[in-house]
Structures are given as structure tokens and as C-alpha cells.
Structure 1
Amino acid sequence: MRGIGLGSAGVLFAGIVFGHFGMTVDHEIAHFAKEFGLVLFVFTIGLQLGPGIIRLWKAQGFLLNGLAVAIVAMGGALVVGFDYLIGLAPGSGPGLFCGATTNTPALGAAQQAAASLAPDSEISVDTLASAYAVAYPGGILGIITSMLLLRRLFKVDVDAEAEKAEQASGTKNDPLERRSLLVTNDRIGSIAFGSLPGVDETGVRISRIQRHEQTEVQHATEETTMQVGDIVQVVGTPQELARFEPLVGRQSDVDLMETPGDVVYRRVVVTEPSVLNHSLRELSLDKIYSTTVTRVMRSGVEMTPRGSMRFQYGDITHIVGDKDGVERVSKVMGNSLKSLDETQFASLFFGVAVGVAVGMIPIALPGLPFPVKLGLAGGPLIAAILFSLVGHLGGLIWYIPYSANLALRELGILLFLASAGLGAGETFFSIVFTLDGMKWVLAGIVIAMLPLLTVGIVARKAFNLNYLTLCGVFAGSMTDPPALAFANSLSDSQTSATAYAAVYPLTMILRIVAAQILVYLLLS
């Protein structure tokens, strides 16, 4: 409507309507589909965004997690305030906190805490679940509405925000270009190209050289030395080349790409596990095979390869050298185009299994009678981030083609939302249209929206935080996959998903702890 849609989150509300009219699924099947969909969704997100999450942690991790902590704290304070002002039914306060913030693991922890306080009473536990179910849809709608209100309030241009985010994260680089340089500096004659000052800082790479008064071109590596009168071809961004050019000499009109000689060029895809996570310097391709890597294409981004760059599965490299050297490097790198189109299901489900196991690990926190767990959302997410950084383990390679990743991610969130909606729809309307139900709905929306709007305004005004990053923080601080699905639909950028994953682990633990604290405060 007017350019705004709910995206995948619409499935939840459709499920509630269909569930209300009696369309149901076997309970065990629905429960499995919901949990399997959630695991699939968060694991594929973590697998794709792992490296970007680490960069974001280094740059803004303290700020983003600080904002998420503020959102959690304000939500808990509002629950206590509502209980004091309007007298919520016993057990409904922690349920509203879990439902308005769409956190199922927190509900489980709260129910355990309630059962420990009153072992013979099921009223508080049932009230917790009812309040959660009523507040849950309003929580999702409140998060999405908060995103839209901030967008309208600050007149946000989403495309411009996506452009800024890509520039800030380094995922959008200046295009690379070739340049021919005439060597006029006689003081560099005894120095190998790779040892020249400024080469590693600028990232400029050498690929070809035409010796003075010779007609044929030769391939060049970091071991190549240059003499006055030589013409060299270098590769880099315009800014890098502008810094490097005065060190060597001046620009030449000679195009070494058109000059005859025993030099070949080939695009080679990295698909061999043995070279993954090894740096260009460690592989020593220039010394062993007398070849040069002039460019690396990763996830659609073209980069100049520095010595410290580590190869990842699916990197497309530009190799320059003689025919024999390039052929040997192609075999070393793998260069299997077929492998890029294959989804590594063995690796995928091994990683999922590890993630589920991680989510089941109890974490003892001081002052709480029950250990907390990351659950089926937090465990797989953290495991996927770690596996994406490791890259491979023996023959297991954590690489999924982008289209397959996106399909699995959408399938996961649709299974989760459909199951959740159908389950909530059975009793949703019968509870909502009671006095307590109306209180819960309104209180849940306030608990969801007020902290988000307050923190969002402060983040934009005081820190000028990117809007898409802020949307990711909103979804992550509420541990809400449907809200993330909506945020992702605003732009093709992965900025929201990266921010979501950056704040999710800490937020999950905080919400589980906060839910149990609220139980002790309001029921003891």
C-alpha cells in the first residue's frame, strides 16, 4: 500500500486469520516446521554475513549493542510500570515482555521461573503463554510501524542510506583500472617491485613490463626490478595509482595489453579447500609459479589483492603470467566453475547440527536459579558466523551460492511465520476481545514501540546512525526474524541483516535473563 508492504511478515498475520477459521496443522508437525524454519533462517544469515558482522563489531559494536541494551532495559521498565499502574493479571507482565519483544526462548525461561516459584499452580504459567500469544502479533506490527515512523520522521531516502552503508563498510570499492607508467626514477633500479615503499599501503599490483628498447612485453611479479626507460603496467584504484605514480615516473600512452609477448591472463575461481584462508603472501604464487594476482572479485566486489589478503571459497582471481605458470596456478586454485553452483548440503546440515548443540548449552549466570540457553535461534546463528570465518573443515566447505542461500532463508522464515500464525490464530481473537486482552494488546504495542522510537530518535540525532543499520538493530534487539524480513525488503543491501546478527547474541541472553527477573519481581 503506497509503496509499503509487510513482506514475509504478512504470512504471520495471514496464518492468524486462517488459524481463527479452523485451518490447522498437526501440532507436532507445526512445531517441527516452526523450529526448523527458524534454524534454517538464522543459519543462512550468519553464514553469508559472518565477515561483515566482524567488521561491524570492530567499527560500531559497542554503540549498536549499547542501543540494544537500552531497548531491552526500557521494555522491562515499562512492564513493571504497567503492572503498577493498571494492575496486570498475575503472570501476564513477563508474558507481555516476551510477546511484545517476540522472544520465545525468554518465554520458556519465564515459564520455568514461574513454575519454580509456584510448583502447584498452573495459572501463572498459562497466563504467561496467553499474554505472550496476544502481544506477539502486535509486537511485530509495532516494530515494523516504528521503522516506518522513523523513516517518515527523518525523511529517509533508503537508497541513499544503502549507498552510505556500503561505502562505510568497504563493501563498495572504487573500480580498478590499468595504467602504463614510464620509469624515470633511477633510484629504484635495485629494488624489487614488492619492496618499494608504498606498494603494500596502496595495494597497487604490477602485471606486465616492457624493458627499455625491447619490443616484446614480459610478465612481471613482486620480484621484478625496474630500470629507467622501462614501461610497466600496474593495476589499482584511481586514487591508489595517483599516489603510486610519482614514485616510479610518469604515465605512458603505450598499451601493454596490445604489445606482443609471452604473457597470458586468466580468470581463476578459488574452489580448492587447501588454499582457503591462506594469505597471498603465504601462497607465494609469484615466487613459485612466476605469476601475479592483479584483482580479486568477492561477492560482486572487485578488490586489489594485498599480501595479507586471505582467499575465500568462490573468490574470482585475475592471474597474469606465462602460459605454463597460469595453467599450474589454475590447478592449485581449483578453478571448478561447477562447484560454485553446488549447495554443500553436508556442510550445511553439519553446521546446523552444531548450532543446535551450541544453543542447548546451559550458561550459568550469577543470581539466577536456572541456566540460560541461546536456543535454536542464537546457537545456529553464532555457529554460522564462526563457520563462515573458518571457511572449511577438511572436506566440509561452508559456501552456499547466493541464490540458494536466499531461497533457503525465505523458505525458513515462511515455515516459521506460517506455523506461528496458525498456532496463535486458534485463540487469538477470543482472548483479544476481552478486557484483559485489550489491556495486553495496548500494553504490548507500547512496550514494543516506545523503546524503539526513543532509541531510534536518539541514534539518528546524536550518532547519525544509518537508517538500515538502525532497522537491523531494532529487529535484533527484539530478536524478531519477521521484522528482519521486513527490513531486508526495504533495500537490496545486507546492512540490516548484518546489524541484526551483530546485536542478536547479547540481546538474546539479556532478554532471557530479563524475563526471569520480571517473574521474580512481579510474582514473588
Structure 2
Amino acid sequence: MGQFFADQPWVAVFSVVALGSLLGLCRFGPVKLGAAGVLFVGLLVGALDKDIGPAVPTGVSALGLALYVYTVGLEAGPAFFRELRGQLAVMAAAIAALVITAGVVGFVGHQWFGISGPYLAGGYAGIGTTTPGLAAAQAASENPAQPAVGYAIGYPLAVVVTILFIAVLAGRRHWKARRDPGSGLPAELVTRTVQVTKDVRWDDVPGVATHRVLASEYRPADGEPRIAHALDVLAAGDLVVLVGGESDVRSATAYLGELAPLDLLDDRSTVDYRRILLTDPDLAGRTVAELGLGPRYGALVSRVRRGDFDMLAHDDLVLQLDDRLRVVMPHGRADAITRHLGDKESSVSEVSAVSLGVGLALGFLIGIPSLTLGTTTLALGAGAGPLVMGMFLGWRRRTGPLVWTLPTRANLTLRQVGLLLFLAVVGLTSGHSFRENAFSVFGLKLVAVLTLGAFVSYFLMVLGAKWLGQSRERTMGLLSGYVGNPAILAYANGRATDSRINAGYSTLFALGILVKIVCIQLIIGL
């Protein structure tokens, strides 16, 4: 079997992708391995015969990695730059924790146990679960199999230890958050029809000024239902449809009056509503206000569903392809608004070859320059170059006619394909070396170093977040993003329902990858 895979490397690659994906679906305690299952199956298959690794087309891994990090950057860029000012102190704490961890892993591993830099760099990438970091370590090593051994040992260790930390955080009910007291954006939106029992100014209603509550439909006490444009004063007897998080809508309802005995949304004879898919490239990267639905059609957007999350629409919310817009409109205007927004299912998986090609080319270009410090050469390389460019272009969203962002489904598909190809090739090319080194005294030494590094790293991150006054929920998200593993994020979301978890993850995910890549190249020089 080993020789067959050596003779048929493409069969080996896609067999590993298939079997590894099946392994990734299996649950081990509270988590699944996900895409990492491909790496472990690749290591197992690669260990069958020493000729398998050299036969595998390694150029595939570079392409897969570039697709993965570029699409991650496109998605993470807007959140990163949006959070930059408010979370600058947290980002600095994360950078300090990663640098200190690199020092601990490098010093203890090299000075106490005599482990060489490539193994330690791969292990450091493993406890950071950073696939681009592994690529950077391999690119800087004479023997690319050595970092892969460290990564394969550190990765499962990171998942287990981080989950322990998350479990402890989830149990800290009296965690004080002096600088993060709010509940963030609502995890789920609700719609309620409220009957006004007193005269009130709309802008005084709790949550309106902060864009946490909006009105989608309104019926005066003596009139017909209408779209809730530019509400001013509400009078007793009026009905208004509120949209927002459960607690925010409850507060607004208490201020306005009481829940109405009827639901305005049940009557669609005057005001209609529907979900419409945004697929017109000319509208991507524009704000809700720039759609012009109010002036042109008398309509408004109340919600925007992106992926699996519903967001409350407001004028400054920037839209992207594949967003589903909940549009409240006058009866009979649905067809015209649908044509305006696109609503073509066939477009949600389409990719602009021009913007994708230009973005990746620019990413590879900025990865070329290098800086030599003593015996260490630093460069963004094929791992960080496309990531940085993706973050920048994702933040810019569009340049003239070029729309840089991708439809959500297309982004996720390209990301998964790229990651699976990269991990399959890494596993196959490193399997034989892993078999020779992991299950030995040397392997036990590496486990000890990485365990120490993992505990130091995660403890410093949590301590820094608490010292900076971050909430328990945001700290769980920050730790998930700091480690950079979606399985850990899923576990954190399973232990608490709060949008600050996802916000914290977005804050540190891309930044963590970049800092780890730099630290990895420094460790390689040991």
C-alpha cells in the first residue's frame, strides 16, 4: 500500500483529504478535530513508506495555504481594523504573551533539553494551532519534516489545554469587567409589536440612539400601517414593530408601553417584507444608506443575515456579497427591489477571477522582501503575505470597479479547500519523520516543553485580559482567537451566549497569526 501511494501521489493526497475529513467529524469529548484530522491521517499514511513524501507535489501546499490565509484575511480584516483603536491594549497584551511564550519555548527547549529550533518552531506553531506558522517554519528549515513533527505534537495539546482554560473561565460567574460592562451586540434578534401608552419622542427610547433597537413598521392610532421612516413623536394608541436583541426590545417595550394584542406583521396588505439576497457587485462594499431603498422605493432594511448571524441594520452598516437583507417595503414593490439587489442564487458561489488574482499576486509580492537579523531572516513569505494583503483589501472592500470581498459561501469553500490541500501535503511529506521522532524519549521532551509553553501562553493571555478589565465572555473569545482555533471558539460559544465571544475572537485571530509567524522565524535560528 505504501509503495502504491508513492507511485500515485495524487491518489494519496485526495485519499488523505477524504479519510481525514471523516476523522475530523468524529467527536472527542467536547470538540472535533475538524480540518486537523487531515493532518493526522496524512502523517499516518506518510509513515507507511519513506518514498511517499518525496513523491507528493509540494507546490500544491503553497497554493492551498495562500487560498486559506487570503480568504481568512478578507473576512477578518474589517473586524481587525474596526477593533484596532478600542482593543489596542488587549492586542499589545496578546503580542507580549506570544513573544514571552516564544522565549520560554525556545530557551527551555534548546538550553535544557537540547531540542533544535525547527522542532521547537513547529511545536510553537502547534500550541498556537497556526497553519500559516507551520508553513513559515517549514520554509525557514532545512528539513521541513521537523517543524511538522513539532506541530503534530503541539496541536492536540493546544486544543485540550485551551478547553480546560475555557471551562474554568465559563465557571467564573463573578468575573468583574470594569472596562467591558456591556453585553455587546445581541446574539439573536427578536421582533415585537408594541402598543404605545404615552406620548414619547422616538429618539428617547432606550437603545435607539445606540442602534440597538430599530422600528420597522408603524401604525398611528387613527391611520394605516406604514414603513417606520424618520419617526419623531409617538402618541398613545400607536403601534410600532421593534427589532433588536431580547433584552433591548424588552427595555424599549417597558418605556413605550406594553406588548400589543396583535402583530402588525400579520397584515401584509399595505406593508410587505421579505429576505432578499444581495448579489449585485456594484452594491457590495456600500452601506445600508447607500442602497437608496428609502428614497427610491420607500423601503428600509431591518436585518442583515451574514453567514449564520443576524445583524441589526443601520445606515452605516457596510454590506457584502451574499448578505441576506430583511427588507420592509410598500406592498407591490418587491419585484423592483429584488431586481435592484440581485437575489440570484447562482451568484453566491461566483468568484471574481480578476480581484482574486490581483489580491493573491499582491500578497505574494509583499511576502518577498526579507530582513536579516544576525543568523535569522524575517519575511512575511507565502503564509503571511497573502494574509496581510487579504486583511487590507477586506477592510477596503472595493477599489473602483474591483470588489475585493468574496461571497460568504465562496470564501468558506475556497478557505476549506486550501486548508485541506495544505494539511494533506504536510502530513504526507512529514509522516515518516514523525514516526521516527514522536514516539521516543525525544518526543516526550518535546511534549514537556510544549505543555509548559501552552500553560504559560494561555495564562498570560487570560491574566492580561482580566487586568485590562475585559469581561469573562470577551476573554473567552480573546483566548479562542489568540490560539486561533474554530473548534475552541465553538466550545466557548457552547458555554456562554454572548456576542463578545465572537468579537474577541475576531480581534486577535489575524493578529495572532502574524505575530506567531515572526516569533517562529526567530525560534528557527536557535
Q: Same fold (TM over 0.5)?
A: yes
Q: TM-score, normalised by structure 2?
A: 0.72
1:170-319 correspondence runs (5 A)? 170=184, 173-182=187-196, 184-185=198-199, 188=201, 199-214=208-223, 216-222=224-230, 226=234, 229-245=237-253, 251-259=259-267, 262-319=270-327
Determine if the alignment matches structure 1 residue 36 to structure 2 residue 48: no
Aligned to 2:387: 381
Structure-2 change in CA distance of 1:169 and 1:53 (3 Å): farther
Give the one of 403, 415, 418 matched to 2:424.
418
Change (3 A) 1:79 1:506: same
Q: Aligned to 1:272, what secondary structure does the other structure show?
A: coil
Deviation at 1:373, TM superposition (A): 1.1
Q: CA deviation at 1:504?
A: 0.9
Letter in 2 for 1:218: R
**Residue 69 of structure 1: CA displacement?**
1.9
Q: Distance in 2 between matches of 1:149 and 1:426?
A: 27
- CA-CA distance at 1:299 after TM superposition: 2.1
Taking the aligned partners of 1:406 and 1:353, their CA distance within structure 2 comes to 20
Q: Distance in 1 between matches of 2:283 and 2:123?
A: 47
Quote the residue 1:68 is aligned against.
Answer: 98
Pairwise CA distance, 1:267:
2.2
Question: Which deviations, in whole Å up to 9, do the C-alpha atoms of 1:19-60 show, x marking residues without a partner?
Answer: 444364585852202222222232333334444445665444
| Backbone CA RMSD of aligned residues | 4.2
Q: Answer yes or no: is the 8 Å Cα contact 2:186–2:244 preserved in 1.
A: no
1:157-194: CA deviation from partner (whole Å, max 9, x where unpaired): 99999xxxxx9995752322131333631x75xxxx67
CA distance in 1, matches of 2:308, 2:438: 48
1:515 is aligned to: 524
Deviation at 1:406, TM superposition (A): 4.3
Q: For 2:396, which of 390, 393, 400 is the aligned residue? A: 390
- Aligned ranges 1:348-497 → 2 under 5 Å: 348-362=356-370, 364=371, 368=374, 372-393=378-399, 394-402=401-409, 404-426=410-432, 440-460=442-462, 463=466, 469-470=478-479, 472-474=481-483, 484=485
Higher helix content, 1 or 2: 1
**Residue identity in the other structure for 1:448:** L
Which SS does the other structure have where 1:274 is aligned?
coil
The alpha-carbon distance between structure 1 residues 381 and 459, as it changes in their structure 2 partners (threshold 3 A), is same
Query: Is it true that 1:22 corresponds to 2:49 in the alignment?
Result: yes
Conservation of the 8 A alpha-carbon contact between 2:64 and 2:421: yes
Is this contact kept in 2: 1:273–1:397, CA < 8 A?
no
Sequence identity (%): 22
Q: CA deviation at 1:432?
A: 7.4
Which structure has the bigger radius of gyration? 1
TM-score scaled by length of structure 1: 0.73
Counterpart code for 1:66: A
Partner AA of 2:385 in structure 1: G
Change (3 A) 1:259 1:184: farther
1:288 Cα offset (Å) = 4.1
Looking at structure 1, the residues matched to 333 and 232 of structure 2 have their Cα atoms a distance apart, in angstroms, of: 16
Aligned residues: 465
Q: Secondary structure at the match of 1:199?
A: coil
Task: Give how far 1:67 is off.
Answer: 2.2
Q: CA deviation at 1:135?
A: 5.7
2:66 maps to a residue whose letter is V
Measured in 1, the distance between the counterparts of 2:182 and 2:321 equals 24
Confirm or deny that 1:46 pairs with 2:73.
yes
Once the two structures are overlaid, the 10-residue window that deviates more, 287-296 or 244-253, is 244-253
> Any gaps of 5 or more consecutive residues in structure 1?
112-128, 162-166, 477-483, 519-524
**Where does structure 2 lack aligned partners over 5 or more consecutive residues?**
1-26, 126-133, 174-180, 467-471, 495-500
Q: Relative to structure 1, is the Cα distance of residues 201 and 467 closer, same or farther in structure 2, using a 3 angstrom cutoff? A: closer
Query: How far is 1:492 from its partner?
Result: 8.5
Deviation at 1:137, TM superposition (A): 1.6
Question: What is the DSSP-based 3-state SS (H/G/I as helix, E as strand, rest coil) of the residue aligned with 2:62?
Answer: helix
For residues 280 and 53 of structure 1, the distance between their equivalents in structure 2, rounded to whole angstroms, comes to 21
Paired position in structure 2 for 1:119: none
Q: Does 1:504 align with 2:513?
A: yes
Verify the 8 A CA contact 2:194 2:260 in the aligned structure 1: yes
User: After superposition, what is the alpha-carbon deviation per residue over 1:86-117, rounded to whole angstroms, capped at 9, x for unaligned?
Assistant: 6x4xxx633333343354534655x6xxxxxx
Shift of 1:376: 1.2
Are 1:343 and 1:400, in contact at CA under 8 Å, matched by a contact in 2?
Answer: yes
C-alpha distance in structure 1 between counterparts of 2:427 and 2:314, whole Å: 50
Q: CA deviation at 1:453?
A: 1.8
- Checking the alignment, whether the CA contact within 8 Å between 2:67 and 2:414 is kept in structure 1 is yes
Question: Does the CA-based 8 Å contact 1:298-1:316 persist in structure 2?
Answer: yes
C-alpha spacing 1:452/1:427, structure 2 compared with 1 (3 Å): closer
Give the direction of change, closer, same or farther, for the CA distance of 1:141–1:55 in structure 2 (3 Å limit): farther
Q: Deviations over 1:422-481 (max 9, x none)?
A: 323455556779xxxx6754443333332112233454577468567535534x5xxxxx
Distance across 2 between alignment mates of 1:208 and 1:486: 40
Q: Secondary structure at the match of 2:314?
A: coil
Distance 2:189 2:487 in 1: 31
1:142 maps onto 2:169 in alignment: no
CA contact (8 A) 1:346 1:396 kept: no
Distance 1:35 1:413 in 2: 10
CA distance in 2: counterparts of 1:418 and 1:332, whole angstroms: 43
Q: How does 1:154-165 map to 2 (within 5 A)?
A: none
Q: Given residue 310 of structure 1, which amino acid in structure 2 is its aligned partner?
A: V
Q: Distance in 2 between matches of 1:159 and 1:356?
A: 44
* Match of residue 117, structure 2, among 77, 94, 106: 94
Change (3 A) 1:321 1:41: closer
What letter matches 2:406 in structure 1? Answer: Y
Q: What secondary structure does 1:271 align onto? A: coil
